[in-house]
Chains A and B, each alone.
Chain A
Amino acid sequence: MQSIRRFIRPLLIPFLAILSALIVGGLIMAFFGDTSGTLMERLWRPVRAYQSLFEGAFGSGRGLSTTIRKMTPLLLTGLSVAVAFKAGLFNIGASGQFVMGSVFSVAVGINFPGLPPFIHLSLALLAGMLGGAIWGAIPGLLKVYTGAHEVIVTIMLNYVAALFAGWTVYAGGTQGQQPGPLWDTTAGPISETPDVLASARIPWIFGPPYRVHYGILIALAVAVFIWWLLYKTTVGFEIRTVGQNMKAARYAGIRVRWTIIFAMILAGGLAGLAGGIETLGLNHKFAPEFGGGVGFDGITVALLGQTHPLGVIFASFLFGAMDAGAAKLQFDTRIAQDIVQVIQALVLAFVAAPTIIYTIFRMKPDPEEVESAPTVNWGAG
Chain B
Amino acid sequence: MRPNNFWKTSSLISLILAGVLVVMALLVNMTPLGNSMWLRVFFGISALNFTLRASIPLILGALSGILCERSGIINIGIEGMMLAGAFGGFVAKVATNGWPLTASLIFSVLIALAIGGLMGLLHATLSIRFRMDQIISGTVIIILATGFTAYLFDRNAVAEGKFNALPIPGLAQIPVIGPVFFDNPPITYLTLLLVVIIHVALFHTRWGLRTRAVGEHPRAADTVGINVNRYRYVNTTMGGMLAGLAGAFLVLEAVGQFQEGMTAGRGFISLAAMIFGNWNPFGALGASLLFGYTQALQNELLLAGFTDIPRQFVSMLPYVVTIIAVSGFVGRVRPPAAEGKVYETEGSSE
Contacts and interface: CB of A to CB of B under 8 A. Distances in A.
Interface stretch (A8-16, A101-109, A352-360): A352-360
Nearest to B140: A349
B140 A352 contact: yes
B323 interface: yes
B340 A377 contact: yes
Interface in A281-330: 296, 299-300, 303
A151 B135 CA distance: 9
A376 B143 CA distance: 20
Given A163-B316, A167-B310, A377-B74, A344 B143 contact: yes
B175 interface: no
Given A142-B327, A156-B323, A160-B320, A356 B136 contact: no
A348 interface: yes
A59 B143 CA distance: 28
Interface in A323-344: 336, 338-342, 344
A149 B326 contact: yes
Given A175-B307, A378-B335, A299 B139 contact: yes
Contacts of B337: 379
Contacts of B271: 152, 155
A157 B323 contact: yes
Contact of B340 (A299, A303, A341, A375): A375
Interface in A120-168: 142, 146-149, 151-153, 155-157, 159-160, 163-164, 166-167
Interface in A160-191: 160, 163-164, 166-167, 170, 175-178, 180
A7 interface: no
Contacts of A340: 147
A61 interface: no
B38 interface: no
The main secondary structure of chain B at its interface with chain A is helix
B15 to A, nearest CB: 22
Contacts of B272: 152, 156
Nearest to B340: A377
A207 interface: no
B144 A349 contact: yes
Given A156-B322, A166-B312, A348 B140 contact: yes
A352 B133 contact: yes
Given A142-B323, A159-B316, A299-B139, A378 B74 contact: yes
Contact of A338 (B134, B147, B315): B147
Contacts of A359: 130
A345 interface: yes
B221 interface: no
A338 to B, nearest CB: 4
A374 interface: yes
Nearest to A355: B130
Contacts of A156: 268, 272, 319-320, 322-323
Interface in B54-93: 74, 76
Given A152-B322, A160-B316, A377-B340, A177 B307 contact: yes
Contacts of A346: 144
A345 B135 contact: no
Contacts of A147: 327-328
A251 interface: no
Contact of B307 (A167, A176, A352): A176
Interface residues of A, number: 56
Nearest to B337: A379
A178 B316 contact: no
Contacts of B204: none
B265 A176 contact: no
Interface string B304-327: 010100111101100110110011
B148 interface: yes
B323 A148 contact: yes
B307 A178 contact: yes
Contact of A336 (B143, B151, B316): B151
A267 to B, nearest CB: 16
A373 interface: yes
B131 interface: yes
Those 10 A-B pairs whose CB atoms lie nearest each other, nearest first? A341-B147, A338-B150, A167-B312, A345-B143, A353-B132, A342-B147, A353-B130, A146-B327, A177-B307, A338-B151
Given A146-B328, A175-B311, A178-B307, 10 more contacts: A147-B328, A159-B265, A159-B319, A164-B312, A170-B310, A336-B152, A344-B147, A348-B143, A349-B144, A377-B341
26 contacts: A28-B151, A32-B151, A147-B327, A152-B275, A152-B326, A156-B268, A156-B322, A160-B319, A163-B313, A163-B315, A163-B316, A167-B310, A175-B307, A299-B139, A303-B136, A336-B152, A341-B146, A349-B140, A349-B144, A352-B136, A353-B131, A353-B132, A355-B131, A378-B326, A378-B335, A378-B339
